[in-house]
Amino acid sequence: MKYRSEIIGVGSFVPPQVFTNFDLEKMLDTTDEWIQQRTGIVQRHWVDAQACTTDLALEASLLAIKNAGIDKSEIDMIIFATLTPDHDFPGSGCFLQAKLGLPEITALDIRQQCTGFLYGLSIADKFIQSGSHKNILLVGAEIHSKGLDKTPNGRNISVLFGDGAGAVIVSARESTNAVSESKIIATKLYADGAFAKELWLPAPGSALGDERINHQLLEEGLHYPQMNGKTVFVHATKRMSECLLKICVENKVDVNDVDLFLFHQANLRINSKVAEMLSISESKIFNTIQNYGNTTAATIPLGMDDAIKAGVLKKGMLVASAAFGSGFTWASALWRQ
């Protein structure tokens, strides 16, 4: 039997605490106008002190399971994409597994940052097509707020990130080869480690000498994210445009035939530039960055859930996604909802 992968359930969760740009003005020596002009972000959600990444993931996962109409016992694999794990080890997939009460099933963490969800979607699709698994829970979840420099020194980066989680259930279905069937059509994954230090978190790490972390590293602020913004922007627009066009050409899909684009939400200017480069109507792009900021691995499933709730994403639509992030990594996906 030949299997296809179908996304049968979507869920998302963001913490209730909202920080607007005006809230950040008080701590980061910035302005609402500056943030909106350069990023498109109006607000973001940040957790309280007690929350951890798998708490957010659990809420999103339970909603995805409910919306899929399956019992959680039917899940046979967890793929967890995050760069902000609860702990260095073990993987957050194991902590989530315990919270869901699903012992013994496969649990896998991946670290592809902003591209994590699409990497995870590709992995889930391959496992489904192999026939080894039937219902895979794919989660992207992040808590950035606990790792940001909330002083004027960190304003260029700290304004960008929010906390949140998104989850989907990817399930096996018998393939009929019908053009209209709901399925993951294709995924394309890329990376170029030559640019790893253009967007990274230097510390803690085993490459730093005798200790993974020490007072000097902390005093230098190396435990906060570092980014070359101009380089990231140039590469993001170029790579996202390239991989979107390539996946469409390889699957004989005209870009204009795509019903909805769900791009990673890093910067509204990046998504607008990609639309311009490929002559995509911005009315076909569903953006959520204004409400949540960059939630890295969570942005695409979070946006997918919002699009469904808003009646924008409907069954049968042809959907394309692209993402770019640290690594550098980038990816695209094409599916029929």
Q: Is 133 a catalytic residue?
A: no
Q: What is the pLDDT of residue 277?
A: 97
Alpha helices per DSSP H over the chain: 21-28, 32-39, 53-68, 92-100, 116-130, 155-158, 215-219, 229-250, 268-277, 289-292, 299-309
Question: Residues 190-195: what's their mean pLDDT?
Answer: 98
- In the residue annotation, 294 being an active-site residue is answered as yes
Mean pLDDT of 131-138: 98
In this predicted model, what pLDDT tens digit does every residue of 82-107 receive, in sequence order? 999 999 999 999 999 999 999 999 99
Tell me whether the CATH fold assigned to 3-174 matches the one assigned to 183-287+301-336. yes
The predicted pLDDT at position 179 comes to 79
pLDDT band, very low/low/confident/very high, at 215 (cuts 50, 70, 90): very high
Residue 107 DSSP SS3: strand
Does pLDDT of 178 surpass 90?
no
The answer to whether 52 is a known catalytic residue is: no
Which homologous superfamily does the CATH classification assign to the domain defined by 3-174? Answer: Thiolase/Chalcone synthase (3.40.47.10)
Q: Which of 94, 114, 243, 248 is catalytic?
A: 114
Alpha-carbon distance of 124 to 135, in angstroms, equals 9
Indicate the CATH number of 183-287+301-336 among 1.10.150.20, 3.30.565.10, 3.40.47.10, 3.40.50.720: 3.40.47.10
DSSP-derived 3-state class of residue 13: strand
Quote the pLDDT of residue 177. Answer: 79
**β-pairing, 106-110 with 77-81?**
parallel
Exactly one of 144, 264, 271, 287 is catalytic; name it. Answer: 264
Q: Which of 21, 267, 291, 294 is catalytic?
A: 294
**Domain ranges, ordered by start, for the chain:** 3-174, 183-287+301-336
The string of pLDDT tens digits covering residues 150-170 is: 999 999 999 999 999 999 999
Give 98's contacts (C-beta < 8 A, 6+ positions apart). none
- Please answer whether residues 315 and 67 qualify as being in contact, where contact means their C-beta atoms are separated by less than 8 angstroms: no
- Which tokens belong to 320? 């394309």
* Strands 3-13, 164-174: pairing kind: antiparallel
What pLDDT is attached to residue 1?
A: 79
Q: Side chain identity at 242, as an amino acid letter?
A: E
* pTM, to two decimals: 0.97
| Neighbour tally for 155: CB within 10 Å | 20
